[in-house]
Chains A and B, each alone.
Chain A
């Protein structure tokens, strides 16, 4: 069947099962936007290309399916670099299609030309400049395959205008769809290892059964591999505690007796300290990020390491594992479970009673804590807001956050019971992630309530996408924890720069968030006292036909605790001042 490259591109997306894409048209991509009118794919018109990228990410986080964004060349392509890098750092499967100037104009500094594949080379898992219309189905199929298999990640496809423009003979092609065989033949250098090495798996089982103070260090790879059930089976079979990193919140239920919550710079005391004192860390789809390890040379000094990751480059990148296993987390964990059973399971393990009582001792002594006062205008605490949001939301509510103090508090105070209910920007730490990512998540899971918890600084970076949400009837809810500051920076300046506050003040009422929300077609509310919190949340939860924004005026001076100051050992953890000096 003869068609033009633009039609082939849209048809290729349909073949990949794409139901929705996020984008914004422009000169170079115009010909591809024409066949969208006749396609069943839903296109969501964003207000800024960065929004399209984060929406695609939010969609992918919430559904597990690849998110798709399409934008034009030049400034549109550079605007989507941040989401690409964000997706690269957090291993989020997205496919981004960018327009490019016609082949003959490439390299001439043409209008809206930029070297998109060059610029995005180091922030994508793969990218490709397509030069012939007949390559489009193959490249699109490869893009989805690469984005979603192995360690997932962003793939960018750059499409010159001439090969999609029906007026140009270069765009003519005969439709085909590559077979599985043609797909793998076309990618001779891409064969991710999914099955763990059997000898290493036995070795891992032996280490587990010999350890006295083991901790499972579960990372975002658990979610990417759909391995939450396998993780639970392993934890329950062996009775080993689990910490869930920022990227893995929800991978293991927070209300499970073996769950220790989030480790790291703002992790809770027990999660941090149990890792420090462990004799075995079972790292599953986690990458020993600096925000988890603190000072690497002092991290979990007595621990042997089992490290399971689908990316061979992660093994030994930060900490040399004693048992390295390359493979898909779900498949490997299932094999480890089998191997542990064969070696005798729970009965074959040493008595860990003493370790367990140490762990519960830490939990009792250093729970997360804050204090909300109710008399005469005591400031509203962000944690208080979060506890009410949490307790008012259904347990499968999807929570999305930006980056900073509010992100840490949300991760700390929410009780995640299900995988894929937490969406945030972990690796890149992209302020402004929350609003567009929440829109993407809600588009992917319209059946779920979606709350974006945002900071006032973050909100100002991408708030315009609420216009998109209103126009497209995507009823997300946004809670701005408005402390009038770039809160995390303020906290560092208070603690490490002698309270010299440099360029961190934002003002609580400039802009007027309620009016701004209303101007964008949302319901806007403002909450200034603890007494108003619950009724505002109840009202927001009842609205399901448009976005809602609540401006919570929170305490500027509230800090995130515990905290391991940057560059220090995790043993130097600083707990809430009300809990004294910490446990060392």
Chain B
């Protein structure tokens, strides 16, 4: 039986107004929640790459993917299997760091190879980039200190280099 899990779709689209609405609309009208989303131009400014993480079973995802590919502004769709992709997210986190705890917070920033990007009297803002799991761990560890604000970016992903061919599913117009 198909199980619900994270699926990462990497969608190359024309860099034009309204394209993101077309793409997200296809998920919305089927009631699928987009778990995370990242959009930015590719190396060619005519195109953008949308990285979408969705929780859907495999079978409906195949249908959504095919429907996505029908959008005129969609150039290419690749489903990235989590084991075969490099995934990264960026987190900005403001945490309470008063005199007594400041040292511990800074220590954990160093352990996680984060960076302190802003310092207040009793708060610090930390930037951390890494795999989503690493960010989850860090968030857990910061919680006891008191998280003031937190913003995670959408996930960005590219296929791992050494496994690019056989399992990578690229959706094209031809089904065979």
Contacts and interface: CB of A to CB of B under 8 A. Distances in A.
Contact of A315 (B14, B75, B175): B175
A313 B66 contact: yes
B140 to A, nearest CB: 40
Contacts of A126: 71-72
A167 to B, nearest CB: 26
B74 interface: yes
Nearest to B18: A117
A125 B71 CA distance: 8
Nearest to A191: B173
Interface residues of A, number: 26
Contacts of B29: 122
B176 to A, nearest CB: 4
A311 B70 contact: yes
Interface string B107-130: 000000000000000000000000
Nearest to B13: A189
Interface string B9-26: 000011001100110010
B176 A312 contact: no
Given A126-B72, A189-B71, A317 B63 contact: yes
Contacts of A324: 175-176
B167 interface: no
Contacts, number: 58
Contacts of A326: 173-175
B18 A193 contact: no
B173 A121 contact: no
Given A122-B25, A122-B29, A313-B67, A189 B72 contact: yes
Contact of B21 (A118, A187, A188): A118
A200 interface: yes
A378 interface: no
B62 interface: yes
Nearest to B171: A312
B173 A192 contact: yes
A200 B29 CA distance: 33
Nearest to B73: A189
Interface string B52-78: 000000000011001101111111100
A539 interface: no
B173 A313 contact: no
Contact of A312 (B46, B69, B71, B73): B69
Given A117-B18, A122-B29, A197 B72 contact: no
Interface in B64-111: 66-67, 69-76
A393 interface: no
Given A121-B22, A122-B25, A188-B75, A197 B174 contact: yes
B176 A197 contact: yes
Contacts of B62: 316
B11 to A, nearest CB: 10
B154 to A, nearest CB: 22
A190 B75 CA distance: 8
A312 B175 CA distance: 7
Interface in B25-69: 25, 29, 46, 62-63, 66-67, 69
Interface in A139-153: 146
Nearest to A189: B75
Given A126-B72, A312-B66, A121 B25 contact: yes
Nearest to B17: A129
Nearest to B75: A189
B14 A189 contact: yes
Interface string A307-325: 0000111011100000010
A121 B21 contact: yes
A200 B175 CA distance: 10
A193 B66 CA distance: 14
A134 to B, nearest CB: 16
Given A117-B18, A126-B72, A189-B73, A199 B173 contact: no
A515 B176 CA distance: 60
A324 B173 CA distance: 12
A200 B76 CA distance: 24
Contacts of B72: 125-126, 146, 187, 189-190
Interface string A185-219: 00111111100010110000000000000000000
A311 B63 CA distance: 12
A144 to B, nearest CB: 13
Contacts of B22: 121
B123 to A, nearest CB: 38
B63 A313 contact: yes
Contacts of A118: 21
A122 B175 CA distance: 24
Nearest to B12: A189
A248 to B, nearest CB: 22
Contacts of B173: 191-193, 312, 326
10 contacts: A122-B25, A189-B71, A189-B72, A189-B73, A197-B174, A199-B176, A311-B70, A312-B173, A317-B66, A326-B175
Interface of B: 13-14, 17-18, 21-22, 25, 29, 46, 62-63, 66-67, 69-76, 173-176
Interface of A: 117-118, 121-122, 125-126, 129, 146, 187-193, 197, 199-200, 311-313, 315-317, 324, 326
Shortest 3 CB-CB distances between A and B: which pairs? A313-B66, A193-B173, A189-B75
